[in-house]
Amino acid sequence: MPANATAPRMKLYRERLRAAGLRPIQLWVPDTRAPGFVAECRKQSAALAGDKAEAEAASFIEAVGDWKA
């Protein structure tokens, strides 16, 4: 199917979303496949090791992750 064949459907889809009160955003995130990504993660993690605020944040995230509705 040619890419231009999907354009009218996507337009209608976006119009429905906007009518529902939503708006599009563009979100850029780090490329986990990029060379050096893992090394940078390790470097930043090591820099935070032993930090009290980081430990509190990690505890909070773990507690929220275990929460069941």
Indicate if the pLDDT at residue 1 is higher than 60.
Answer: no
Mean pLDDT across the stretch 49-56?
94
**3-class DSSP assignment, residue 54:** helix
Tell me, what's the pLDDT at 3? 60
Q: Where are the domains of the chain?
A: 3-66
Which of the two residues, 66 and 47, has the higher pLDDT score?
47
What lies within 8 Å, CB to CB, of 54 at 6+ separation is: 48
Indicate if the pLDDT at residue 49 is higher than 80.
Answer: yes
Say how many C-beta atoms besides its own lie within 10 A of residue 20's C-beta.
Answer: 7
Which of the two residues, 57 and 1, has the higher pLDDT score?
57
Tokens of 63: 């507690």
Q: What's the mean pLDDT when you consider all of the chain? A: 92
CA–CA separation, 52 and 18 (whole Å): 43
pTM for the model: 0.53
